[in-house]
Chain A
Amino acid sequence: MTIIDKTADVPAPRGSNDESGPLLEVRDLHVEFHTRDGVAKAVNGVNYSVSAGETLAVLGESGSGKSVTAQAIMGILDMPPGHIPKGEILFRGQDMLKMSNEERRQIRGQKIAMIFQDALSSLNPVLSVGYQLGEMFRVHQGLSKKEAKAKSIALMDRVRIPAAKERVNDYPHQFSGGMRQRIMIAMALALEPDLIIADEPTTALDVTVQAQVMDLLAELQRDFNMGLILITHDLGVVADVADKIAVMYAGRIVETAPVHEIYKRPAHPYTKGLLESIPRLDQKGQELYAIKGLPPNLLHVPSGCAFNPRCTMAQDICRTEIPALRPVTEQDGTELVGRGSACHFWKETIHG
């Protein structure tokens, strides 16, 4: 209770509260959407955790459930049509799904903040950026307009927006794409939350700006020792920043691994396919690999392993039995820490 009740006036020292468990733990989360055509099972039993200072990258195609999971954590799912039939989302050991709306609101923005993909549409077009940044301080900390503005300028400086003082009263459309995304980051950072969820923060940006924004995000995360959930479909972005990776497919986590191991030795055919579909300079002139088929329709997820219709290794068992996320080991049975695969044939995939 100590966490939620008090609106911290001063930034609390990091890790002052029970440091034992992870910051955030998602347990067996299910999310479905009740639509006119039926029930779309967007998330089917997701488990992951993030600790302070750690970066988890959640990887997957559109519709794999990675954003929906994040929205469920933030509590910004549209309910209805969204519905959480099962699961727990533990923040510092407390299940947020059991909290009252007011308790969750207190956590949003202060303890867990979110960065959205398209900063232009995610910022309010008719309010100045200074107002939108300052709102965080005015609402959560009760600061005056003037104090909030000063803090907003400091924040804009922090995310390296040039001439912050002159630009604080400008509107979102007056900024470039990269600058707008910096403003989004500043807004998420405002109250120095414990955890930031970045939902494809660089997808709408061009490549040079992408790198700048990712570097900034990584730097800020280090400085504030925050937990970071980075949602992306870009494997290139992940390699530099993430500590561990969770690959999602059709609402399930199909593989988890520390970041560099997954590039070396994927343990799931889907991950393998993803990695092989990255263009590489040393394979110039060869045809680029592509995973055949389309992501499954969430109204009719294939029986067994959802990936089986697209999988090159699929056997009969893949069509009947849903593979659980099992620990991945070396050939001799030594445990590989943090690795897991939801494939009946993970051994063949990683070792064969």
Chain B
Amino acid sequence: MGRYVARRLLQMIPVFLGSTLLVFAMMYALPGDPVRALAGEQAVDPTQIAEMKKELGLDLPLWHQYWNYLVNLFQGDFGTQIASGRPVADIISEAFPITVRLALFAFIFTVVVGISMGVFAGLKADTLRDRGLLVLTLLLISVPSFVLGFLGQYFFAFQLGWVDPNVSMEANADELILPAVVLGSLSLAYVARLTRTSVAENLRSDYMRTAVAKGLPRRRIIGVHLMRNSMIPVVTFLGTDLGALLGGAVVTEGIFNVKGVGSAVFDALRHREGATVVGIVTLIVIVYLVASLVVDLLYAVLDPRIRYA
């Protein structure tokens, strides 16, 4: 177990290097540059631009820039935004807590509602309520999140007036509920379907028959014997899903004006702020890797047949 965790952690190093290099190279390859963007529409003396680039180290070849970035990163310096002059670390520490809160809300919504719906349908597979759930989830899967987001905004903010259309800078809990529901609805559909299939399948298994033959009460048969087994595939999905949610949501954050990681990345991309993009993406990659490691470990807890060596 310990060896397994150590190996997985070590595996993160090449993934980390690879992903940063990839993002770095992509930023380098993009047309336009942040220094010129500073000037906007005005005509600027090319020598002035060249000088600024030299100052910022942007005239160096790609490998050298990447090297400098890594060296700074290991000293705890994520770099500085060119336009605003703010440290990238500040941007991240401002945006990340908001995204974490949004992601957790969305995650809780997904888990609670998705699993309940899945169990509800799976216990009575191929009945009306099961079919109804399948149609509903299909709808959620096929409708893009911006449609859902605008619809939610239209009904709950403009028509009913229950919430503000935009989330304030503080991103209070009550403001985040609607964005979280919109954000979580796609995963919700997947979780519900996964749970439903898993429950319906395990319901037919021999050990369920044994549990009934033992004279156990129904809630124990379902709650202990059925759920433990049915949750195994769902947990796998939920883990990667949590990783993805923590990576921020550009579209949903954009609709509700949530100042999270998604909108920070989007802004940085627009201004060609390479250091910001690479910093945030690196963080997302690490969060994702850690989340999938936790899932794999949890997997062994749920299913004793799985052993890590």
Contacts and interface: CB of A to CB of B under 8 A. Distances in A.
Interface of A: 74-76, 105-110, 113-114, 116, 118, 121-128, 135-136, 139-140, 171, 173, 187
Given A118-B206, A121-B206, A136 B214 contact: yes
B215 A110 contact: yes
A131 to B, nearest CB: 9
A74 B210 CA distance: 11
Contacts of A114: 213
Contacts of A136: 214
B305 A116 contact: no
Given A116-B209, A173-B305, 17 more contacts: A76-B212, A105-B217, A107-B215, A109-B215, A121-B206, A122-B207, A122-B210, A125-B229, A126-B232, A126-B302, A126-B303, A126-B304, A127-B228, A139-B216, A139-B220, A171-B305, A173-B304
A124 B202 CA distance: 11
A75 B209 CA distance: 10
Given A108-B215, A139-B215, A187-B214, A121 B205 contact: yes
B305 A124 contact: no
Given A76-B209, A118-B206, A173-B305, A124 B229 contact: yes
A80 B210 CA distance: 18
Contacts of B213: 74, 76, 108-109, 113-114, 116
Contacts of B210: 116, 122-124, 187
A121 B204 CA distance: 11
A209 B80 CA distance: 73
Nearest to B211: A124
Interface string B220-250: 1000110011001000000000000000000
Contacts of B211: 124
B207 A123 contact: yes
Given A118-B206, A139-B220, A173-B305, A124 B215 contact: no
Given A76-B213, A107-B215, A173-B305, A124 B207 contact: yes
Given A118-B206, A121-B207, A125-B305, A108 B212 contact: yes
Contacts of B205: 121
B215 A140 contact: yes
A113 B213 CA distance: 7
Contacts of A124: 207, 210-211, 225, 228-229
Contacts of B304: 125-126, 128, 171, 173
Contacts, number: 74
B225 A127 contact: yes
Nearest to A106: B215
B83 to A, nearest CB: 54
Among A108, A126, A187: residue with most chain B CB under 10 A = A126
Q: Which 3 A-B pairs have the closest CB atoms?
A: A109-B215, A108-B215, A121-B206
Interface in B278-309: 302-305
Contacts of A122: 206-207, 209-210
Nearest to B207: A124
B216 A135 contact: yes
Contacts of B215: 105-110, 139-140
A205 B217 CA distance: 31
Nearest to B304: A171
A136 B215 CA distance: 8
Interface string B178-215: 00000000000000000000000000011101111111
A95 to B, nearest CB: 18
Contacts of B214: 108-109, 113, 135-136, 139, 187
B202 to A, nearest CB: 10
Contacts of A127: 224-225, 228
23 contacts: A76-B209, A76-B212, A76-B213, A105-B215, A106-B215, A108-B213, A109-B214, A113-B214, A123-B210, A124-B207, A124-B211, A124-B225, A124-B229, A125-B303, A126-B228, A126-B232, A126-B302, A126-B304, A136-B214, A139-B214, A139-B217, A173-B305, A187-B210
Nearest to B305: A173
B138 to A, nearest CB: 25
B300 to A, nearest CB: 11
A121 to B, nearest CB: 4
A96 to B, nearest CB: 13
A171 B220 CA distance: 19
B223 to A, nearest CB: 12
B215 to A, nearest CB: 3
A135 B212 CA distance: 12
A175 to B, nearest CB: 13
Nearest to A139: B216
Contacts of B302: 126
A126 B229 contact: yes
A139 B225 CA distance: 14
A71 to B, nearest CB: 8
Contacts of A187: 210, 214
A140 B205 CA distance: 23
Contacts of B220: 135, 139
Contacts of A173: 304-305
B206 A116 contact: yes
Nearest to A140: B215
A127 B209 CA distance: 15
Contacts of A140: 215
A318 B220 CA distance: 50
Nearest to A74: B213
A116 B214 CA distance: 12
Nearest to B205: A121
Contacts of A113: 213-214
B143 to A, nearest CB: 34
Nearest to A136: B214
Nearest to B302: A126
